[in-house]
Amino acid sequence: MVNKKLHVKELLVSTIIIGSVLGTLSTASADESTAHVATQSSSKVASVPSSSAVSSQVPSTKKSSSSSVTAQPSVSATSSTQSTSANVTPSTRAVQIPQSKFKTGSVVALTVVAKTSNGTQLNGYDNQSGVVTKVIAPKNAKENYAYDIKLDNGVVVSNVLETGVVAFVKTSAFAINNRVEIKKDATQDGDAKNISAYRGIGGTITKVTRFHRLSSNFYYQVTLDNGVVIAKVLEQDLQHYTNKPVHKDGWSNENGTTKYYVNGAAVVGEKQIKGYWYHFNQSGVQSKGLTTLAHKTVFYDVKSGQMKYGYVWSNGSLMFFDTSDGHAITGVRHYSGGVEVYGSDFKQVRNNYATVGGSRYYLTANGDAFKGSRKVNGQLEFFGANYAQVRNNYTWLNGSLMFFDANGHAMTGIRHYGSNMEYYDTNHKQIRNKYIRTGNTYYYMKANGDAYKGLRQYSSTGFEYYGTDFKQVRHNYATTNGTTYYFNGDGDAIKGVRKVNGKLEYYDNNFKQVRNNYAWLNRSLMFFDANGHAVTGIRHYGSNMEYYDVNYKQIRSSYIRTGNTYYYLKANGDAYKGLRQYSSTGFEYYGADFKQVRNQSVTIGDNIYHFNKDGDADSIKPKKPAAAKYAKNASVYLTSNADQSVNGNHNLKKYAGQNVKIIDATAVQNGQSNWKYTVKLNNGIVIKDVLETDLQINKVNFKVDTNKLIDWFESRKGKITYSMYGSRNGTDGTADCSGSVVQAIRDAGGTPYTWLYNTEAIHDYLKGNTYQLIDNNDRDGWMSKRGDIVIWGQQGHSDGAAGHIGIITNNADNPLFISTCYITQGQKGTAVQEVQYNQYAARNGYPYYYVYRLAQ
């Protein structure tokens, strides 16, 4: 029993002690001006019987109407009956209300579950401290006490249920007059003022004030040793004075400048602090504004000093700083939707031009690069899709091509470039497919805008010419590809006869001036010299001579006299040379110079002729024949020019070059040879009366001479009429294409032919004369060469008029092509024509063709 009673007594005493302590703390904490709160207060505990109600008076330095309360009765060891308080009126059934935890004046704090008696949650007041100003008792034992509390920040909250209130039992770490110093990581005081500059400085506490938040127990007013008074230093920012130097760390404001310390040393250079870049000069002072670093120029905010990124206005100018490393942008900057330009001073260019990397831009008032056309001071400029000004280049604008010069101005008028010329009208548009006139000068601009140069055919019958200076030729000659034209006052090429300065000129149906060639004019053949002038008098060509009267007409089948000299012109216009029998008994002779021999003797073959003063032979005497050149059984060859036997029984042309054996030789009196022979061919054929001049000792080598081949045609211009039904080789004044080529090859040193082959059969004849097939209808054409023989018509389908053949006569890109043709529709004497091959082939639908070239 004693132990149980003692236990009850000890429990009662403990309760009284706890109450005494709480009362003491509450009283001490309630005075906000107290310098130091002690937790040790004297308490008296009275010993009372276990069965008696105990009344406990809690000591306090501050009287309160609720300071005297009835304590819980103690419990008897032998009885479970509860004793009523001495202050409670006896009743048949006593209801006991628990004692409140806190009294008026108690220092308390609100918890996170604090709410009022009507259930309002006190959000935002958790951990805030204050003083109980009123205790509100519950109506019954099941309810909680409630309190009116004035928080330390001045806010009053009412009817706060006891379940959300706890005792504020913390004590201050420092007291008035304690020596302290500001910690090295201190940043702000209780009023959010920066105190980092005072780190490590000592001072004395002159006032202690409880802080209304549990995160810091108290505010302290500290008078620093340098005389500065800080009103509200948080407890966590103080430490006892150590009298030892404290390293500065972090930010420091010193004499109007800002520095940053690490382990007591001021930072110099770049430093990243809490994710932001800063810079400090050699003195450790924070940089602000535009700052040049060793490797870049950046911008630090003029207030915070943090490195800026993106656009920044500074002194009225806009700058841009790279969004990754902050370097100031210079030059062109592309951004979505446009282009900007920044100068070497980092300022954005506005309302001005800027040249960067060879490209020129115009920047508008908002700093955006201009795009499109712009007219300034009467000059048109253009800025492309890349915003660069077009200079020394073309651009299409509104469907027209324009050119912008080195200054970026759109051109007007003539522009030369390279070896070309173009023209732009007053609206800067390039002229195309059109004539232009500047002064009295005309130009024609092609479909690509280039001025025309050279011969231009503007219709089926119209030609005009533009010189190397692109000017249209008028009232003047022009020569192109070896052909001369004359252009009248309208710039049109003329055709037909033109007489100038007493000279006659002639332009054919192709408007070409006839030069070094024949032309039929009013049924008379004329020849036009190298200057294009019709010839009068004697004309020598090759080994021949011809004559033209004062009217430029070629003399044919007639005598002419120049001074005391006589000539005879044959039916083809060539002067006669050699012995001419003009009647059954009449002979006359023309020397190698074509002059008629008079008053002298001439040995001709085996006879001696004498010609009188009129040129007639008045005596013919035989000459003793020389010995035969070839003995019986000798092996000899028929010459390449062998014609026919004396009696005409054998055509020797087809046997030219063949080896024969001499069977017999007979002396004859013949103007061409002193001896005639009977010969035997290798195949056994015997030929009689072969003239000595048609034989030779050496083997005959047939080789076509290209120059002689082409000369054959050149010498027959104006003399051959087209026909497939006459001689075909010109012997009767008519010829066709293939007959002409066969005869020309033979006369130029080719092998004998057995007949005048047509375009179907001539292939083998060409191959037999060492011609090689170099092109068989290649669609890309061939690199032509003088002397190339071209056959039109696929073999097997080229008989008669279905085929054609001719010869390339020069090495030009668009070469000349000579042939016996029907271009002039069979007009007399015009069968031999020389034309530009490409145009001729085009007019004939680009026929199937073969090209043969003489082997080297």
What pLDDT does 659 receive? Answer: 92
Amino acid at residue number 671: G
Tell me the per-residue pLDDT of 203-251, one tens digit each, with 9 for 90 and over: 999 988 876 655 556 889 999 888 889 999 988 899 988 776 556 778 8
CB 208 within 8 A of CB 36: yes
Tell me the per-residue pLDDT of 468-516, one tens digit each, with 9 for 90 and over: 999 999 999 999 998 999 999 999 999 999 999 999 999 999 999 999 9
Mean of pLDDT over the chain: 86
Direct distance between the N- and C-terminal alpha carbons of the chain, in angstroms, rounded to an integer? 153
What pLDDT does 382 receive? Answer: 97
Reported confidence tier of residue 200, pLDDT bands at 50, 70, 90: confident
Tell me the per-residue pLDDT of 507-566, one tens digit each, with 9 for 90 and over: 999 999 999 999 999 999 999 999 999 999 999 999 999 999 999 999 999 999 999 999
Residue 91 predicted with pLDDT over 70? no
What pLDDT does 67 receive? Answer: 34
Q: How far apart are CA 526 and CA 519, in angstroms?
A: 5
pLDDT mean over 318-344: 95
Tell me the per-residue pLDDT of 163-180, one tens digit each, with 9 for 90 and over: 999 988 777 888 899 999
Tell me the per-residue pLDDT of 764-815, one tens digit each, with 9 for 90 and over: 999 999 999 999 999 899 999 999 999 999 999 988 889 999 999 999 989 9
Report the percent of the chain where pLDDT is more than 90. Answer: 66
Please state, in angstroms and as integers, the Cα–Cα distance from residue 524 to each residue in 81, 356, 552, 640, 730, following that order: 172, 76, 9, 36, 19
Q: How far apart are CA 523 and CA 556, in angstroms?
A: 13
pTM of the model: 0.43
Residue 681 predicted with pLDDT over 50? yes
Secondary structure, 3-state, 610-638: EECCCCCEEEEEECCCCCCCCCCCCEEEE
Please state, in angstroms and as integers, the Cα–Cα distance from residue 737 to each residue in 493, 631, 761, 786, 801, following that order: 30, 44, 13, 18, 10
Burial class (CB in 10 A: 0-12, 13-18, 19+), 516: middle
Q: Of residues 112 and 624, which shows the higher confidence score?
A: 112
What pLDDT does 15 receive? Answer: 34
Q: How far apart are CA 589 and CA 446, in angstroms?
A: 64
Q: How far apart are CA 56 and CA 607, in angstroms?
A: 191
CB 790 within 8 A of CB 799: no
Tell me the per-residue pLDDT of 130-169, one tens digit each, with 9 for 90 and over: 899 999 999 887 888 999 999 888 899 999 999 999 988 7
Residue 25 predicted with pLDDT over 70? no
Reported confidence tier of residue 622, pLDDT bands at 50, 70, 90: confident
pLDDT mean over 332-352: 95
- Give just the sign of the alpha carbon dihedral 180, 181, 185, 191: positive
